[in-house]
Structure 1
């Protein structure tokens, strides 16, 4: 079987590779030509093997074409969330050492100051779908029009470099060495190989992607579907009613979700849910956040036993999978390992027996590094050389993994990772704030949302309500919209242990008690 955009473009150039909600589509031939021109552009602008490209792009064909172009010219491609604030975007562009930046013209007003903040980036190119491009950015369409649609002669395999975050709070790139130049064209690209082989992607696949393509899973899955010769329907943004319509009317065979999306669809009127029919839809994948047992049972009751859950991460150190039948036999599990071997480690780094809770590590898988951050890399490495996503959990006697907590207090809100220390650092920039702690609060719709506990500086003559409003306004300017604190509480002090360690669990317990009181009121 052939694998890769070019293979399918040569075999069936008029076959649709991408479809969009506005009715437009892109064929394999068109996507291949676009990727080739981007390859030529990267070479024309002096990018060499091992250089980095960043893309601040919306859910359109350029995200996919740019990723393919980088994967065939020995470059690292990093998608950047356009929902980030300007300082957050600048951090990723600078930290990734991006030599070239692609930006969507619809974000032109927000990005106007970006080149001045990112001096190392040598080339800035933007589409002009809306408004006027910043004067320091070159028009992408004009630049591509001068490039041939044949690939350059010196192709070599590149990689995605996605960004994650952790103990420091600042996003960090997940880096692996490039494959050898001789491996170009040998089987599926690295970003697609596991997904094609494990989940059976083929030319009959019609995949629905309801999430932003700057996230690792939607991007990798879309690229894998194209590599396998399938078609991907890309939603502008998730909407429960439209998602069901797509499943029915566009004969989708495979889809991917996070639990928040399940909640939104289950919240639709009973009549709408009862009328839903999608006979070709045989695989509904979900991941990114814990799925409550009751919620998953309701989805299986509605859609049938087509749900498959997987546990993975941008670091790709391991992968577990379980289908509906397996989950019904092991409710709450996230599956058994199909990539890597699960290792549960105690505080002394010894391997624990079944049903004992410890840190979840994986052995027998490829190693990663956090880009230019050896300290953070070491924080995810055991003395045995095994690596972790930072989760806490246990396995039963048959190897089924159950997650019980997160090692680094990460908040997962609607499938998006939010890191408390990043929010705390932003809030503590304010002169009115002495210190701050951010924890997860339960949320029926998103699963979790951040709540901020703020301690004012001594002698501040501002009411609690006024300070909370000032913190909210600061966060709106400083942080992306997905990271806004859902609740801001002004307190006299934060709970700490005898040695001064912040006791986040007491804050979470306080929020849980308040939620219970509100429910009983």
Structure 2
């Protein structure tokens, strides 16, 4: 197999086009490498050392890529920040991740600067002009664009659901390996899909790079020697145009993308040459069976699916597997193992729904700052058991709360969504965070937020509110509640609709029976995902 690792590949072929920005600007591997090297030199002179955290709030493109590559060769934790977040939400990520450096693009200056107020000026850097931030060009000026000494592998630390509704950083121990060798290890996932290293492969980045899977697949494609072509925002026809223009071979997508593509007029869909497509991989949300069939009919056997979690482990469904088992999300990865259990953590028979647990050989993690959540999501097993995925006995299984079943051949099917997390258009939305913001409104006595079916987005956000006595339920109150979220919560987290209820269903101990509220909206949809 060809050698992997961007830094190694860039030194061997500096003229290779490593990245194409949304505006069409091309960046050679040599230029990207020199920028990443200079950034490491500059930050080290500012006092950063291995194990420190670095955050970046940047649009899709080469700027964020440079920060990612610098962090992963200097032993830093790299956290990309969701650009939909408000200032207080950004401030939480910066504080919780213990960021020693924050990179902000001028496009997001208003909320980014608001969130960075607690950081000292020496730790704030900007791409473009942001008052109170030091330009990155100034940080790297005069620094050598040569490999820094003592290179050591860093890691990404993405944020996922927390017990309080706030996201938690999934943190893995640094392994002290050579960065290029660590990059080879990252390549295991695309290699399982059959993705090949080297050119002329081209990876299209269709979604924001702050998503875990987008960073993983995009970053790994680069480490495999692929050219990255960035989309600034999703547009169905533009995606087809870019695939034809750049001869795209692979990408990471979500079912919402498929819905938008299939909605294009027939003449538009077939106006572009898509013969280069080889591995169009999707996940992040349930894909309706008719939508998947339509994509396979259109694109052929290049549509792959997987099910996974930021914490590690998962399944893969090849086009051939899926056609034989429509609706499946696949079988376990070779380095992963599945276990479906009842409420007493006992394995259930094939075809019986239960809570899905996973484990991944040699890949531990913790939720930063939340040891209780780390413990509660794990199930210690003394022996192998479970599926034939190849996990090592004695390691820990974990769950993200999904319910599903394995068939007689070991293929996994999802029966229900997570108990709390809403997945809308491939993005994770945390209901407790929204509930906490709505609960402070003086006209709200109680509130529940959950996902309901949406044919385009997978799920949309629904809020059910119990008004205080004297508050008149109806459209005007709904608008008032939504307006109250302005500046406190990213609009992507706002409920799409608000219903009212006379009394919230709670048990005597105060536990909200959210399933009772959610069930009528999902009636008849359980097996359709």
Q: Normalising to structure 1: TM-score of the pair?
A: 0.93
- Cα distance in 1 between the residues matched to 2:485 and 2:186: 34
Matched, 1:387 2:398: yes
| Distance across 1 between alignment mates of 2:79 and 2:10 | 25
Q: What is the correspondence of 1:475-514 to structure 2 with a 5 Å cutoff?
A: 475-497=485-507, 499-511=509-521
Deviation digits for residues 389-437 of structure 1 (CA, Å, limit 9, x no counterpart): 3211111121111111134321110111112111101111222222210
Q: What CA deviation, in whole Å up to 9, does each residue of 1:103-151 have, x standing for no partner? A: 11111122232232x34896000111xxx4122x111112112321112
Q: Following superposition of structure 1 onto structure 2, how do residues 177-326 of structure 1 map, counting pairs within 5 Å?
A: 177-180=173-176, 182-186=177-181, 188-196=183-191, 198-204=193-199, 205-316=201-312, 318-326=313-321
Question: 2:330 maps to what in 1?
Answer: 335
Unaligned runs of 5+ in 2: 382-395
1:125 corresponds to: 125
- Give yes or no for contact 1:284–1:307 (8 Å, CA) kept in 2: yes
CA contact (8 A) 1:71 1:158 kept: yes
Q: Which residue in the other structure is 1:22 paired with?
A: 23
Aligned to 1:413: 424
- Note the 1:98-117 alignment, pairs <5 A: 98-116=99-117
- Aligned residue for 1:173, secondary structure, equals strand
Q: Is the 8 A contact 1:360 1:392 kept in 2?
A: yes
In the alignment, what sits opposite 2:390?
Answer: none
**Whole-Å separation in 1 of the counterparts to 2:272 and 2:149:** 50
In 2, distance between residues paired with 1:190 and 1:434?
51
C-alpha contact (below 8 Å) 2:195/2:279 kept by paired residues: no
Residue in 2 aligned with 1:153?
149
Q: Check whether the contact 1:410–1:418 (CA below 8 A) recurs between aligned residues.
A: yes
Q: What is the DSSP-based 3-state SS (H/G/I as helix, E as strand, rest coil) of the residue aligned with 1:382?
A: strand
TM-score normalised per structure 2? 0.91
* Structure 2 SS opposite 1:341: strand
Q: Is the 8 A contact 2:205 2:231 kept in 1?
A: yes
Alignment pair present for 1:433 and 2:434: no
CA deviations over 1:307-353 (Å, ceiling 9, x no partner): 1001112111x121111111010011101111311111111111222
Aligned-residue offset at 1:514: 13
Equivalent residue number for residue 408 of structure 2? 397
Q: Which residue of 1 aligns with 2:386?
A: none
> Paired residue for 2:63?
62
CA contact (8 A) 2:203 2:248 kept: yes
1:381 is displaced (CA, Å) by: 0.2
Deviation at 1:463, TM superposition (A): 5.5
Report which stretch shifted further, 332-341 or 198-207: 198-207
Matched residue SS, 2:397 = coil
Match of 1:518 in 2: none
Q: Please, what is the CA RMSD of the aligned residues? A: 2.0
Q: Which moved more, 1:96-105 or 1:353-362?
A: 353-362
Contact 2:467 2:473 in 1 (8 A): no
Secondary structure in 2 matching 1:394: strand
Q: Which residue number corresponds to residue 373 of structure 1?
A: 370
SS in 1 for 2:343: coil
Partner Cα distance (1:160, 1:146) in 2 = 28
Specify whether residues 156 and 512 from structure 1 end up closer, same or farther in structure 2 by C-alpha distance, changes over 3 A only. Answer: closer
Other structure's SS at 1:477 match: coil
Measured in 2, the distance between the counterparts of 1:252 and 1:268 equals 20
Does the aligned pair in 1 maintain the 2:151–2:178 contact within 8 Å?
A: no
Q: Secondary structure at the match of 1:113?
A: helix
Cα distance change on mapping 1:184 and 1:107 into 2, 3 Å: closer
Any idea what the Cα deviations from partners look like across 1:227-248, whole Å, max 9, x if unmatched? 1111111100110010111122
Residue 460 of structure 2 is matched in structure 1 by 449
1:240–1:407 Cα change, 3 Å: closer
Conserved in 1, the CA contact under 8 Å of 2:420 and 2:450? yes
* Within-5 A mapping of 1:35-46: 35-46=36-47
CA–CA distance in 2 between the matches of 1:197 and 1:29?
Answer: 29
- What is the deviation of 1:281? 0.9
SS in 2 for 1:393: strand
- Quote the Cα distance in structure 2 between the aligned partners of 1:144 and 1:196: 35
Distance in structure 1 (CA, Å) of the matches to 2:278 and 2:188: 21
